């Protein structure tokens, strides 16, 4: 059998053979799955997706050296914000990033992380405005529901050619919402996330002092779910 035939056989097995499926309450790492037909499903996961606005413009506006520094600061702020609220960061996607929150108060913690991130970006922008006469814009999208996780890439010991895929409507919703988000309403959340936080006592630490809702309801068309109500806010936490 040639290598071409062997590769086709492997691809066919992915489509035709049965899978070993398991529900999990943790966010898997690459080492938790094999290249066999294994699949893990996270129930009630909150998907946190963030994307930088206008990254191409930044590259043309700044020197390449400062563009590297800007992207590093942005992505580092994401990691700090997610981990501070006990989220699980999983991948960089160019100028964006993907993370997950599970367990108790998952939706409230994800919202807090998004508000922390905006606080970091405000401080980053103070430096960028003074040094480079420019500022960053970004969008965070949050979705909630079941996410299926599998391993893909090249078999073997070379982890640089392997990654996990995160498939589910909440993932697509989070990406779509992040694409709609921009200053001043940098944080957009799905109806599922909104319903979760308003029922969560921990959310009381996020509401405004006046008792008024921090969220603006928007009716949006999302490719993954169609016409639906979503919510956005300009709220953030100071980190300085």
> Above 60 in pLDDT, residue 158?
no
Residue 12 domain-assigned?
A: no
pLDDT (tens digit per residue) in 172-211: 999 999 999 999 999 999 999 999 998 887 776 666 656 6
Domain region containing 153 = 19-233
Confidence of residue 118 (pLDDT cuts 50, 70, 90): very high
pLDDT of residue 198: 86
Domain harbouring 200, CATH code: 3.30.70.1230
> Above 80 in pLDDT, residue 58?
no
Residue whose C-alpha is closest to residue 43's, from 16, 70, 23: 23
pLDDT (tens digit per residue) in 64-108: 777 888 889 999 999 999 999 999 998 887 778 999 999 999 999
> Mean pLDDT across the stretch 128-139?
88
Residue 8 domain-assigned?
A: no
pLDDT of residue 204: 67
Kindly state the percentage of the chain with pLDDT values over 90: 52
- Whole-model pTM: value is 0.90
pLDDT of residue 175: 94
Between β-strands 137-153 and 216-222, what pairing exists: parallel, antiparallel or unpaired? unpaired
Residue 126 domain-assigned?
A: yes
pLDDT averaged over every residue in the chain:
87
- The span from the CA of 13 to the CA of 7, in Å, is 10
Confidence of residue 119 (pLDDT cuts 50, 70, 90): very high
* Number of domains making up the chain: 1
> Above 60 in pLDDT, residue 155?
yes
Residue 204 domain-assigned?
A: yes
SS3 36: coil
Between β-strands 96-101 and 88-93, what pairing exists: parallel, antiparallel or unpaired? antiparallel
Residue 112 domain-assigned?
A: yes
What 3 state SS string does 21-33 have? EEEECCCCCHHHC
> Mean pLDDT across the stretch 228-239?
92
Helix axes 191-198, 106-132, angle to 10 degrees: 110
pLDDT (tens digit per residue) in 15-34: 898 888 999 999 988 888 88
Which residue in the block uniquely carries the two structure tokens 């294994």?
A: 38
Residue 13 domain-assigned?
A: no
Residue 5 domain-assigned?
A: no
Residue 168 domain-assigned?
A: yes
pLDDT of residue 144: 96
């Amino acid at each position: 059998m040639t290598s071409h035939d062997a590769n086709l056989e492997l691809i066919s097995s992915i489509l035709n053979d049965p899978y070993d499926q398991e529900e999990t309450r943790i966010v898997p790492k690459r080492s938790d799955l094999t290249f066999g037909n294994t699949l893990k499903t996270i129930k009630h996961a909150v998907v946190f997706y963030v994307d930088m606005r206008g990254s191409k413009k930044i590259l043309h506006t700044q020197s390449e050296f400062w563009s590297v520094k800007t992207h590093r600061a942005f992505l580092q702020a994401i990691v700090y914000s997610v981990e501070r609220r006990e989220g699980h960061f999983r991948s960089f996607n160019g100028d964006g990033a993907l993370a997950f929150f599970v367990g108790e108060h998952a939706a409230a913690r994800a919202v807090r992380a998004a508000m922390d991130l905006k606080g970091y970006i405000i401080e980053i922008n103070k430096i960028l405005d003074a040094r480079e006469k420019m500022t960053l814009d970004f969008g965070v999208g949050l979705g909630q529901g079941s996410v299926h996780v599998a391993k893909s890439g090249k078999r073997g010991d070379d982890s640089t050619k392997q990654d996990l895929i995160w498939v589910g409507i909440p993932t697509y919703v989070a990406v779509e919402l992040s694409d709609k988000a921009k200053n001043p309403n940098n944080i957009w959340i799905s109806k599922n996330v909104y319903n979760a936080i308003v029922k969560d006592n921990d959310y009381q630490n996020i509401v405004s002092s006046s008792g008024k809702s921090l969220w603006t309801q928007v009716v949006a068309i999302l490719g993954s779910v169609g016409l639906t109500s979503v919510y956005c806010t300009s709220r953030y936490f100071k980190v300085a």
